[in-house]
């Protein structure tokens, strides 16, 4: 017996009993909590689980970014389409508002000029190669439009019809070299009777290539002693082709002609020749076509 107590087997048995006793005591104090073995295992597995969870979260967030980016892109495309549609609606509203304002002005002019028979028309095309901004309107012979009919806006004279189809007509402007309009200086000169037509300076409105590039035309054959000056208002003098007292424009400059025999007035048309969108054709006026 004495030899057994000194043997290795006895020592191993004591060690095992000691460990078991320790587990029993720990179980008592922990009230049934996880065993020491289980806790030892968790010392190894918890860090591994933590790393695994972090990797899982990172991968999930990585792929979520693609999903979110796709969703955001699609949402942005929808919003862009809505913004573009709103812009189109606003543009259409502004265009219609502007056209209505032009029509009101045209109607106002027509009401004040009962001597004119007119046809409202829209500009539907322009000749990009034309230096004088000629254009095509959406009214023709079916609407009573004829060749040489004057064309104007509520602001003033634009030009006249040169070609007529059933449903369209082509118009040249006051900037054109082919233009030939009798006109007079309507601005009152101090001390001169404005009702005496003999005291008014009369000339011919025509265009040049150089002036057309700046949106201007000219009034030629003014007498050298003319009192015309910058700021004066120029009106049509009337005749067989154009009715009387249609506003042409404003004098910008007065200078001698190339021969020094008369004066030339540079005119800024009252109508917006370059950007005109709506016009009315004067299909009849008193004296039209008479020679």
Distance in angstroms between the alpha carbons of the first and the last residue of the chain: 159
Q: Which residues contact 231 (CB under 8 A, 6 or more apart)?
A: 187, 250, 251
Taking a C-beta distance cutoff of 8 angstroms, is the pair 103, 121 a contact? no
> In the chain, pLDDT over 90 holds for what percent of residues?
44
Alpha-carbon distance 232 to 139, whole Å? Answer: 34
Q: List % helix, strand, coil for the chain (3-state, nearest 5).
A: 40, 25, 35
How many whole angstroms from its chain centre is CA 42?
A: 71
How sure is the predictor about 87, in pLDDT bands with cuts at 50, 70 and 90? confident
Is the model's pLDDT at 203 over the cut of 80? yes
> What pLDDT is attached to residue 209?
95
Taking the CA atoms of residue 251, residue 253, residue 257 and residue 260 in that order, the dihedral angle to the nearest 10 degrees is 120
Q: Is the pLDDT confidence value at 109 over 80?
A: no
Of 35-39, 113-117, 137-141, least confident by mean pLDDT is 35-39
As a whole number, mean pLDDT of residues 233-245 equals: 91
Rounded CA separation 160/180 (Å):
10
Q: What are phi and psi of 263, to 5 degrees?
A: -105, 155
Q: Over 90: is that where the pLDDT of 248 sits?
A: yes
């Amino acid at each position: 017996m004495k030899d057994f107590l000194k043997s290795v087997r006895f020592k191993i048995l004591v060690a095992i009993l000691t460990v078991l006793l320790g587990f029993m005591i720990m179980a008592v104090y922990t009230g049934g909590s996880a065993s020491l073995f289980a806790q030892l295992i968790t010392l190894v597995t918890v860090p591994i689980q933590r790393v695994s969870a972090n990797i899982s979260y990172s991968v999930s967030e990585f792929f979520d970014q693609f999903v979110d980016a796709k969703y955001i892109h699609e949402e942005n495309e929808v919003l862009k389409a809505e913004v573009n549609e709103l812009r189109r609606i606003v543009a259409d509203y502004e265009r219609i508002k502007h056209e209505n304002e032009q029509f009101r002005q045209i109607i106002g002019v027509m009401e004040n000029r009962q001597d004119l028979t007119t046809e409202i028309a829209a500009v539907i095309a322009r000749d990009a190669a034309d230096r004088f901004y000629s254009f095509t309107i959406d009214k023709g012979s079916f609407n009573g439009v004829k060749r040489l009919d004057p064309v104007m806006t509520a602001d003033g004279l634009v030009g006249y019809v040169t070609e007529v189809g059933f449903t369209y007509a082509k118009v040249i402007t006051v900037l054109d070299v082919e233009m030939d309009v009798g006109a007079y200086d309507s601005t009152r000169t101090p001390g001169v009777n404005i009702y005496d037509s003999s005291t008014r300076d009369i000339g011919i409105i025509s265009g040049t290539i150089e002036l057309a590039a700046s949106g201007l035309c000219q009034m030629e054959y003014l007498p050298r002693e003319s009192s015309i000056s910058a700021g004066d208002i120029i009106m049509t003098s009337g005749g067989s082709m154009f009715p009387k007292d249609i506003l042409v424009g404003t004098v910008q400059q007065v200078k001698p002609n190339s021969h020094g025999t008369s004066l030339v007035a540079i005119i800024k048309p009252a109508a917006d020749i370059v950007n005109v969108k709506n016009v009315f054709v004067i299909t009849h006026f008193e004296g039209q076509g008479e020679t």
